[in-house]
Amino acid sequence: MLNIMIVGVGGQGSLLASRILGSLFEAAGLEVKLSEVHGMAQRGGSVVTYIRAGESVASPLIPKGECDCIISFEESEALRYLPWLKKDGTVVVNTQHIQPMPVLTGAAKYPEDIRGQFAAMNVNVVAFDALGAAVEAGNARCANVALLGAASKVIGRTPDEWHAAMRKTIKPALLDLNFKAFEMGLKAG
Protein backbone atom coordinates (compact mmCIF):
# COMPACT_ATOMS: atom_id res chain seq x y z
CA MET A 1 0.00 0.00 0.00
CA LEU A 2 1.26 3.45 -0.93
CA ASN A 3 0.01 6.29 1.28
CA ILE A 4 0.40 9.92 0.24
CA MET A 5 -0.89 13.11 1.83
CA ILE A 6 -1.17 16.48 0.16
CA VAL A 7 -1.40 19.23 2.74
CA GLY A 8 -1.52 22.99 2.50
CA VAL A 9 -3.70 26.05 2.75
CA GLY A 10 -7.22 26.06 1.31
CA GLY A 11 -7.22 27.50 -2.20
CA GLN A 12 -3.67 26.39 -3.11
CA GLY A 13 -4.76 23.83 -5.70
CA SER A 14 -4.38 20.53 -3.89
CA LEU A 15 -7.46 19.05 -5.60
CA LEU A 16 -5.74 18.99 -9.01
CA ALA A 17 -2.61 17.39 -7.54
CA SER A 18 -4.66 14.64 -5.95
CA ARG A 19 -6.52 14.02 -9.19
CA ILE A 20 -3.22 13.61 -11.07
CA LEU A 21 -2.12 11.04 -8.49
CA GLY A 22 -5.47 9.26 -8.71
CA SER A 23 -5.13 9.00 -12.46
CA LEU A 24 -1.51 7.82 -12.15
CA PHE A 25 -2.43 4.93 -9.87
CA GLU A 26 -5.59 4.08 -11.80
CA ALA A 27 -3.51 3.61 -14.96
CA ALA A 28 -1.17 1.35 -12.98
CA GLY A 29 -4.12 -0.93 -12.26
CA LEU A 30 -4.17 -0.26 -8.54
CA GLU A 31 -7.15 0.14 -6.24
CA VAL A 32 -7.31 3.82 -5.26
CA LYS A 33 -9.06 5.88 -2.60
CA LEU A 34 -8.77 9.63 -2.21
CA SER A 35 -10.27 11.75 0.52
CA GLU A 36 -10.60 15.47 -0.13
CA VAL A 37 -11.61 18.57 1.80
CA HIS A 38 -14.48 20.68 0.49
CA GLY A 39 -16.43 23.46 2.16
CA MET A 40 -15.33 25.79 4.91
CA ALA A 41 -11.69 24.73 5.30
CA GLN A 42 -11.11 25.63 1.64
CA ARG A 43 -11.39 29.28 2.71
CA GLY A 44 -7.74 29.60 3.73
CA GLY A 45 -7.81 26.89 6.40
CA SER A 46 -5.42 23.97 6.81
CA VAL A 47 -6.43 21.31 4.27
CA VAL A 48 -5.38 17.71 3.77
CA THR A 49 -6.02 15.19 1.01
CA TYR A 50 -5.34 11.51 1.58
CA ILE A 51 -4.37 9.31 -1.38
CA ARG A 52 -4.07 5.55 -0.98
CA ALA A 53 -3.16 3.03 -3.67
CA GLY A 54 -2.66 -0.71 -3.42
CA GLU A 55 -4.15 -4.15 -4.08
CA SER A 56 -7.10 -3.37 -1.84
CA VAL A 57 -7.94 -0.21 0.10
CA ALA A 58 -10.59 0.02 2.82
CA SER A 59 -10.34 3.29 4.75
CA PRO A 60 -9.94 6.48 2.74
CA LEU A 61 -8.08 7.97 5.71
CA ILE A 62 -4.42 7.20 6.36
CA PRO A 63 -3.62 6.16 9.94
CA LYS A 64 -0.99 8.14 11.83
CA GLY A 65 2.53 6.83 11.31
CA GLU A 66 1.70 5.14 7.99
CA CYS A 67 2.17 7.87 5.37
CA ASP A 68 4.97 7.28 2.82
CA CYS A 69 5.13 10.80 1.49
CA ILE A 70 3.72 14.11 2.70
CA ILE A 71 3.57 16.73 -0.05
CA SER A 72 3.19 20.11 1.60
CA PHE A 73 2.24 23.28 -0.27
CA GLU A 74 3.32 25.44 2.67
CA GLU A 75 6.22 25.00 5.05
CA SER A 76 4.52 24.99 8.46
CA GLU A 77 1.75 22.70 7.21
CA ALA A 78 4.39 19.97 6.68
CA LEU A 79 5.16 20.21 10.38
CA ARG A 80 1.47 20.02 11.36
CA TYR A 81 0.95 16.65 9.66
CA LEU A 82 4.25 15.07 10.73
CA PRO A 83 2.49 12.59 13.08
CA TRP A 84 1.14 10.86 9.96
CA LEU A 85 4.61 10.24 8.45
CA LYS A 86 5.94 6.73 8.76
CA LYS A 87 9.50 5.88 9.79
CA ASP A 88 11.76 6.55 6.77
CA GLY A 89 8.95 8.42 5.02
CA THR A 90 9.66 11.59 3.05
CA VAL A 91 8.38 15.14 3.29
CA VAL A 92 8.35 17.16 0.06
CA VAL A 93 7.78 20.76 1.00
CA ASN A 94 7.32 24.12 -0.67
CA THR A 95 9.35 26.67 1.30
CA GLN A 96 6.62 29.29 0.86
CA HIS A 97 5.24 30.72 4.12
CA ILE A 98 1.61 31.73 4.48
CA GLN A 99 1.04 33.17 7.91
CA PRO A 100 -2.14 31.88 9.57
CA MET A 101 -4.48 34.52 10.99
CA PRO A 102 -3.47 33.91 14.64
CA VAL A 103 0.12 34.73 13.59
CA LEU A 104 -1.00 37.84 11.67
CA THR A 105 -2.94 39.08 14.71
CA GLY A 106 0.03 38.41 17.00
CA ALA A 107 -1.78 35.72 19.01
CA ALA A 108 0.73 33.05 17.88
CA LYS A 109 4.20 32.79 16.36
CA TYR A 110 5.08 31.17 13.05
CA PRO A 111 7.33 28.13 13.72
CA GLU A 112 11.02 28.93 13.52
CA ASP A 113 13.61 27.03 11.49
CA ILE A 114 11.28 24.31 10.25
CA ARG A 115 13.98 22.58 8.19
CA GLY A 116 16.18 22.58 11.31
CA GLN A 117 13.36 20.95 13.26
CA PHE A 118 13.01 18.26 10.60
CA ALA A 119 16.78 17.68 10.61
CA ALA A 120 16.80 17.32 14.41
CA MET A 121 14.14 14.60 14.09
CA ASN A 122 16.01 12.87 11.21
CA VAL A 123 13.10 13.33 8.82
CA ASN A 124 13.83 12.90 5.09
CA VAL A 125 13.01 16.28 3.57
CA VAL A 126 13.00 17.67 0.06
CA ALA A 127 12.50 21.42 0.49
CA PHE A 128 12.43 23.85 -2.41
CA ASP A 129 10.79 27.02 -3.66
CA ALA A 130 7.97 25.47 -5.71
CA LEU A 131 6.30 28.82 -6.21
CA GLY A 132 9.53 30.24 -7.66
CA ALA A 133 9.91 27.19 -9.88
CA ALA A 134 6.33 27.59 -11.09
CA VAL A 135 6.81 31.27 -11.85
CA GLU A 136 9.96 30.36 -13.79
CA ALA A 137 8.01 27.71 -15.68
CA GLY A 138 5.51 30.38 -16.60
CA ASN A 139 2.64 30.40 -14.09
CA ALA A 140 2.54 30.57 -10.27
CA ARG A 141 -0.47 28.25 -10.30
CA CYS A 142 1.75 25.32 -11.39
CA ALA A 143 3.47 25.16 -7.98
CA ASN A 144 1.35 22.08 -7.23
CA VAL A 145 2.71 20.23 -10.26
CA ALA A 146 6.29 21.29 -9.45
CA LEU A 147 5.83 19.68 -6.03
CA LEU A 148 4.56 16.51 -7.68
CA GLY A 149 7.70 16.51 -9.83
CA ALA A 150 9.83 16.58 -6.70
CA ALA A 151 7.70 13.87 -5.06
CA SER A 152 7.78 11.64 -8.14
CA LYS A 153 11.16 10.21 -7.10
CA VAL A 154 9.62 8.97 -3.85
CA ILE A 155 6.33 7.86 -5.37
CA GLY A 156 7.91 6.05 -8.33
CA ARG A 157 6.29 5.35 -11.76
CA THR A 158 7.95 6.34 -15.03
CA PRO A 159 7.98 9.87 -16.51
CA ASP A 160 5.71 8.56 -19.29
CA GLU A 161 3.17 7.41 -16.73
CA TRP A 162 3.26 10.80 -15.01
CA HIS A 163 2.82 12.60 -18.31
CA ALA A 164 -0.13 10.37 -19.20
CA ALA A 165 -1.74 11.13 -15.84
CA MET A 166 -1.32 14.86 -16.42
CA ARG A 167 -2.78 14.57 -19.92
CA LYS A 168 -5.88 13.03 -18.41
CA THR A 169 -6.37 15.72 -15.77
CA ILE A 170 -5.01 19.01 -17.18
CA LYS A 171 -6.47 21.12 -19.98
CA PRO A 172 -4.43 20.64 -23.18
CA ALA A 173 -3.60 24.35 -23.41
CA LEU A 174 -1.89 24.24 -20.02
CA LEU A 175 -0.04 20.95 -20.51
CA ASP A 176 3.35 22.22 -21.70
CA LEU A 177 3.50 24.69 -18.85
CA ASN A 178 2.78 21.94 -16.35
CA PHE A 179 5.26 19.52 -17.93
CA LYS A 180 7.90 22.21 -17.50
CA ALA A 181 6.93 22.82 -13.86
CA PHE A 182 7.04 19.06 -13.26
CA GLU A 183 10.56 18.87 -14.73
CA MET A 184 11.75 21.73 -12.55
CA GLY A 185 10.36 20.02 -9.48
CA LEU A 186 11.98 16.75 -10.51
CA LYS A 187 15.37 18.50 -10.72
CA ALA A 188 14.85 20.18 -7.34
CA GLY A 189 13.99 16.82 -5.76
Closest contact distance (angstroms) between CB of 152 and other proteins is 19
102 lies in the site for other proteins, by CB under 8 A: yes
Comparison of 65 and 159: residue with beta carbon closer to other proteins:
65
| CA distances to 5, 49, 97, 146 from 125, in Å | 14, 19, 16, 15
38 lies in the site for other proteins, by CB under 8 A: yes
39 lies in the site for other proteins, by CB under 8 A: yes
98 lies in the site for other proteins, by CB under 8 A: yes
Comparison of 43 and 187: residue with beta carbon closer to other proteins:
43
Closest contact distance (angstroms) between CB of 62 and other proteins is 9
103 lies in the site for other proteins, by CB under 8 A: yes
142 lies in the site for other proteins, by CB under 8 A: no
Site map 57..96 versus other proteins, x via CB under 8 A:
xxxxx-xxxx---------xx-xx-xx-xxx--------x
Burial 1-29 (b: 16+ CB within 10 A, else e): ebbbbbbbbbebbbbbbbbbbbbbbeeee
- Do 124 and 179 meet the contact criterion of CB atoms below 8 Å apart? no
173 lies in the site for other proteins, by CB under 8 A: no
Strand ranges inside 2-80, DSSP E = 2-9, 31-35, 46-54, 67-72
Bridge partners of residue 2, in order along the sequence? 53
Among residues 188, 157, 123, 150, which one has the least CA distance to residue 17? 150
**Other CB atoms within 10 Å distance of the CB of residue 105:** 9
How many residues sit close enough to other proteins to count as binding (CB under 8 A)?
A: 59
* Separation of alpha carbons 128 and 22, rounded Å: 24
Task: Mark the segment that binds other proteins (CB under 8 A) among 23-31, 147-155, 156-164, 177-185.
Answer: 23-31
Question: Using CB under 8 A as the criterion, which residues of the chain lie in contact with other proteins when the complex forms?
Answer: 9-11, 22-23, 26, 31-46, 57-61, 63-66, 76-77, 79-80, 82-83, 85-87, 96, 98-105, 107-111, 117, 121, 123, 131, 140
